[in-house]
Structure 1
Amino acid sequence: MPPDTRMTAAHDLRQPLERLYREFDYTSRVELDAIRFPLRYPDSRDREIVALLSACLAYGRVDLFSGALEGVLAKMSPSPAAFVTGFDPRRDAGAFADFWYRFNRPRDLAAFCIAARALLGRYGTLEKCFLAGDDDGRGPIGPTLERFSRKFLDADLSPVFGRGRISRGYRHLFPLPSVGGPCKRLNLFLRWMVRREPPDFGLWTGVSPARLLMPIDTHIENISRSIGLTRRRSRNWRMAEEITQKLAAIDPTDPVKFDFALCHKRMSGDCLDRRDTVVCAPCGLKTVCRHWRRGRPRA
């Protein structure tokens, strides 16, 4: 019998998800997550820059981008914020000569530093840059995130790419919600910066956690479908909205608080996206999981 694909009612999801959120062992998983990089920096200026850079590069396997990011941060030490604000492409671009990660090359990091330097010079902080033009402060986060990304894409990057040019790799760092993709990495960055409870650090006080969208990667996509948060087949912005809307029915003030626990439950192997009598035995989500709603385990 095929697994159930119905959406799950919010009142059925509330207890198992709230329990998962309360009881999840965040401490043991933080060191296996990209959030560990900004958490190393006590200075808010360093943490803000490192959080954005870490989130932008957080695609692919964690162990792969972590190695690349470690090398970058070593070159930016002891203060990544000071490195960025004082960045001179002629003098400093060579620091990234050894960087090579999937779509991104050394010049993409140099462009990141040039754009961040210009925006910090204009706004003072990335939070003020993000909030510029966000007059309502209560509407959907998409248009505000779009403006933020465009500021990085529209910066004068001619010292790196030449006038009017931009690399595919750099463009990949700053996706636009209007294109329709899930913008997982930038939504992840916002979760880190805005949420006030661990494992997030909530440096930004001008954005309400209620406005955030779930960062949708393959782990969240699969587990969300398993427990009835979405029936969509395409991982895109609309899926992020649908999942967030479902979670907002449980906690409208902080709908993305479940992201870390759900994602790491899947990453750790505690959820296999199939029925397994051994692995699934201790799982508190079985009552809302499509693999356990009906049917019997295969022999």
Structure 2
Amino acid sequence: MKIGTRKLKSKLDQLYSAYNQKQYIDPDPLLFLYNYPDVRDREIAGIIASSLAYGRVAMIMQAVSAVLKKMGPDLRGFVMNADPESIAGMFQNFKYRFATGEHLSALIMGLQAVIADYGSLAACFTVDQAGGTDLSEGLVRIRTRVVRAGGAGHLLADPQKTSACKRSHLFLRWMVRKDQVDPGGWSNVPAAALTCPVDAHMFKIGHMLGFTKRRSADGVCAAQITQGFRRICPEDPVKYDFCLTRFGIRDGLDMSELKRFLKDDDYHV
């Protein structure tokens, strides 16, 4: 490991120790996953929360909370017993930015179809993986089955396009990694294969660290930023995502403060 990489790893590990704590989760839609000890419920909470994870974080929290409250504590039971008419009525007044009650109802019915076919979202995701490291196939499989049910629209990103698929990779981080913050549950998916969820904050951080020069947060940008972190922590390249993105989200943690802490000529910050 080069001296600049060692220095950066040391600083990132300091940030991880300081901020990768449950006390720094709120406000973050990850918070909702802690209400579901059964992984079969948690994966449903995770895909709904991540699907709505765009826009202002306070509004995201309100939208996710409203949806999960209506669904009740038994998410799997709710999904499997849902019928299109009752779901449409339940969410007819739902509106969050581009998402309508029709989108949300279609997502829930699509999740029902996935679980009916495979038994769980995890089983659908991993059915043909066989220990491989290309997780995009699993995301495509879930999305394809959901979309086939019709109407979910933009709620699930298409990994076959040029998007960074931030919300999809955020969902995978939550479900695959297990530490003080990420609850995990999908233990047969390797953390080493995860891709960094690139939002506006991680896009700035990726440039700050010299991991990317891309002008937009697209799929290539996400791959470059992930590769930068993989050089530091090959077994868990998404390890530092949560602690780094507290800056610019949490009150009192400013991005300029992060830049001052990380500044070092050896790794281009």
Q: What TM-score do the two structures reach when normalised by structure 2? A: 0.91
Please say if residues 96 and 109 of structure 1, whose CA atoms lie closer than 8 Å, have aligned partners that are also in contact: yes
Please say if residues 51 and 156 of structure 2, whose CA atoms lie closer than 8 Å, have aligned partners that are also in contact: yes
Please say if residues 57 and 173 of structure 1, whose CA atoms lie closer than 8 Å, have aligned partners that are also in contact: yes
Please say if residues 27 and 57 of structure 2, whose CA atoms lie closer than 8 Å, have aligned partners that are also in contact: yes
Q: 1:146 offset after TM fit, Å?
A: 2.2
1:57-116 Cα offsets, whole Å, 9 max, x none, are: 101011112112211111111322211110011233211122100111111111111111
- Figure out how many residues of one structure are paired with residues of the other and give that number: 266
- Residue in 1 that maps onto 2:110: 115
Tell which structure's C-alpha radius of gyration is larger: 1
For residues 24 and 156 of structure 2, what CA distance do their matches in structure 1 show?
27
Counterpart check, 1:177 vs 2:172? no
Please say if residues 36 and 73 of structure 2, whose CA atoms lie closer than 8 Å, have aligned partners that are also in contact: no
For residues 249 and 266 of structure 1, what CA distance do their matches in structure 2 show?
25
Aligned mate of 1:142, from 127, 133, 136: 136
- Residue in 2 that maps onto 1:61: 56
Aligned mate of 2:245, from 263, 277, 280: 263
Instruction: Please give the residue correspondences for 1:183-198 in structure 2 after superposition, counting only pairs within 5 Å.
Output: 183-198=165-180
Please say if residues 20 and 181 of structure 2, whose CA atoms lie closer than 8 Å, have aligned partners that are also in contact: no
Higher percent of residues as helix: 2
- Residue in 2 that maps onto 1:49: 44
Counterpart check, 1:83 vs 2:78? yes
- Residue in 1 that maps onto 2:18: 23
For residues 98 and 183 of structure 1, what CA distance do their matches in structure 2 show?
27
Give the 3-state SS of the residue equivalent to 1:252 in structure 2. Answer: coil
Distance 1:59 1:47, change over 3 A: same
- Residue in 2 that maps onto 1:210: 192
1:246-299 Cα offsets, whole Å, 9 max, x none, are: 1111111101010001111232353335xxxxx469x531336999x6xxxxxx
1:218-267 Cα offsets, whole Å, 9 max, x none, are: 01001221122222211111111111111111111101010001111232
Supply the AA of the counterpart residue of 2:133.
Answer: G
1:193-222 Cα offsets, whole Å, 9 max, x none, are: 000212111100121000000000001001
Please say if residues 227 and 289 of structure 1, whose CA atoms lie closer than 8 Å, have aligned partners that are also in contact: no
5+ residue gaps in structure 2? none
Supply the AA of the counterpart residue of 1:22.
Answer: S
Supply the AA of the counterpart residue of 1:228.
Answer: G
5+ residue gaps in structure 1? 1-7, 158-165, 274-278, 294-299
For residues 219 and 288 of structure 1, what CA distance do their matches in structure 2 show?
22
Aligned mate of 1:105, from 96, 100, 107: 100
Give the 3-state SS of the residue equivalent to 1:179 in structure 2. Answer: coil
Which of structure 1's runs of 4+ aligned residues deviate more than 3 A? 288-291
Please say if residues 99 and 106 of structure 1, whose CA atoms lie closer than 8 Å, have aligned partners that are also in contact: yes
Instruction: Please give the residue correspondences for 1:232-247 in structure 2 after superposition, counting only pairs within 5 Å.
Output: 232-247=214-229
Please say if residues 25 and 31 of structure 2, whose CA atoms lie closer than 8 Å, have aligned partners that are also in contact: yes
Q: 1:33 offset after TM fit, Å?
A: 0.7
Distance 1:12 1:215, change over 3 A: same
Q: What is the percentage of aligned positions where both structures have the same residue? A: 35
Give the 3-state SS of the residue equivalent to 2:247 in structure 1. Answer: helix
Q: 1:28 offset after TM fit, Å?
A: 2.2
For residues 95 and 209 of structure 2, what CA distance do their matches in structure 1 show?
38
Supply the AA of the counterpart residue of 1:150.
Answer: T
Q: What TM-score do the two structures reach when normalised by structure 1? A: 0.83
